[in-house]
């Protein structure tokens, strides 16, 4: 009897192992369409960028004679010719420098002013505060186009037209509503006790702001800095409007002008596009968490 029992146990055990495997296999097979759809999405979202990067390392002749995927087979014919050509094209090298000279100060200016304003909105009481803040929330969605003509005239009248200062100020003005909104929400979420005990200890607002508020807001400021920095680096409209023909115009404007002015033979601009997106992609990959938080913070909160 016991022998029978053992065999029964074995017989039930053995099929179980097999059926588990079968189940898993069946389950995976069932999920195959899911994996295929995901793979198609990933392919569509990756391949265009990949194609551009590959092409940027090919000669212009090769680009015109065969698609980028032909490099999979020898002769590969990789060359840096496009990069040399781009960097030797008039205005390109200096415009890359301009991009840096526009982006860094513009980012610093707006974040410094926004943090200070956000502190007032978060920790001070004053008449009209709510109305001011509602206006700021409303301004977050106002299209920049609405402001271009009066500000162009303002810059022309003050002699700032075409200067770096003009774009620094313009970017700061456009960026402020969102930054004040975001930082005010973050600052307002800090524990009240910390500020109150500092006040009891006799710390004025300057000390509370510089010694307590700012250090505690560093994570939010870091995410926001990345977001603002790349926003200005990638901007086309503001620069086109205020620096369109100035020698101070940034890289994005020069690339755009080259694309539209070159009917054919624009292929070497692949290298320009790669140079333009290297910085954002590097920042994204290196600081992924901060980056994603910065990009999404606004819409999750409001």
Closest distance between other proteins and the C-beta of residue 112, in Å? 5
- Beta carbon nearer to other proteins, 101 or 216: 101
Q: Which of 280, 302, 291, 273 is nearest to 51 (CA)?
A: 273
Six-digit token pair at 228?
Answer: 């603002």
φ, ψ dihedrals at 127, nearest 5°: -65, 140
Task: Kindly tell me which of 84 and 158 has the beta carbon lying closer to other proteins.
Answer: 158
* Beta carbon nearer to other proteins, 9 or 210: 210
Q: Which is nearer to other proteins, 13 or 66 (CB)?
A: 66
Q: Can you give the three-state secondary structure of 220-251, one letter per residue?
A: HHHHHHHHHHHHHHHCCHHHHHHHCCCCCCCH
DSSP E strand stretches across 56-211: none
Nearest distance, CB of residue 248 and other proteins, angstroms: 7
Residue number with CB closer to other proteins (88 or 260): 260
Closest CA to 103 of 291, 250, 273: 250
Classify the phi-psi angles of 74: left when phi > 0, otherwise alpha if psi is within -120 to 50, otherwise beta: beta
Q: Are 58 and 79 in contact (CB under 8 A)?
A: yes
Nearest approach in angstroms of CB 88 to other proteins is 19
Smallest gap, in angstroms, from Cβ of residue 22 to other proteins?
20
Taking the complex as a whole, the smallest distance from the CB of residue 165 to other proteins amounts, in Å, to 8
Residue 142: φ, ψ to 5°: -65, 130
Counting every residue, how long is the chain?
302
The smaller minimum CB distance to other proteins, of residues 203 and 216, is found at 203
For other proteins, the closer of residues 73 and 126 by Cβ is 126
Q: Which two tokens stand for residue 270?
A: 């692949």
Nearest distance, CB of residue 52 and other proteins, angstroms = 4
264 DSSP 8-state letter: S
Nearest approach in angstroms of CB 81 to other proteins is 17
Buried b (16+ CB within 10 A) or exposed e, 146-155: ebbeebeeeb
């Amino acid at each position: 009897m016991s022998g029978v029992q053992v065999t029964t146990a074995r017989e039930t055990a053995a099929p179980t192992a097999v059926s588990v495997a079968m189940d898993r296999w069946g389950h995976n097979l069932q999920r195959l369409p899911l994996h295929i759809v995901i793979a198609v999405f990933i392919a569509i979202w990756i391949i265009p960028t990949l194609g551009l990067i590959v092409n940027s390392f090919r000669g212009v002749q090769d680009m015109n004679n065969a698609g980028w995927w032909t490099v999979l087979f020898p002769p590969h014919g990789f060359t840096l010719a496009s990069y040399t050509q781009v960097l030797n094209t008039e205005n390109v090298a200096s415009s890359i420098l301009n991009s840096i000279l526009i982006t860094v100060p513009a980012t610093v200016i707006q974040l410094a002013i926004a943090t200070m304003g956000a502190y007032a909105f978060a920790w001070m009481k004053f008449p009209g505060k709510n109305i001011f803040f509602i206006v700021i929330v409303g301004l977050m969605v106002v299209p920049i186009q609405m402001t271009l003509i009066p500000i162009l005239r303002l810059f022309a009248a003050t002699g700032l037209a075409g200067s770096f200062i003009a774009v620094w100020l313009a970017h700061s003005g456009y960026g402020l509503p969102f930054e004040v909104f975001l930082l005010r929400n973050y600052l307002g979420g800090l524990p009240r006790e910390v500020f109150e005990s500092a006040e009891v200890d006799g710390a004025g607002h300057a000390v509370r702001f510089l010694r307590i508020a700012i250090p505690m807001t560093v994570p939010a400021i870091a995410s926001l800095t990345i977001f603002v920095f790349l926003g200005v680096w990638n901007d086309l409209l503001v620069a086109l409007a205020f620096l369109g023909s100035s020698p101070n115009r940034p890289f994005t404007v020069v690339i755009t002008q080259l694309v539209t002015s070159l009917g054919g033979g624009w292929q070497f601009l692949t290298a320009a596009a790669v140079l333009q997106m290297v910085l954002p992609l590097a920042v994204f990959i290196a600081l992924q968490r901060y980056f994603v938080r910065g990009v999404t913070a606004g819409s999750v909160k409001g």
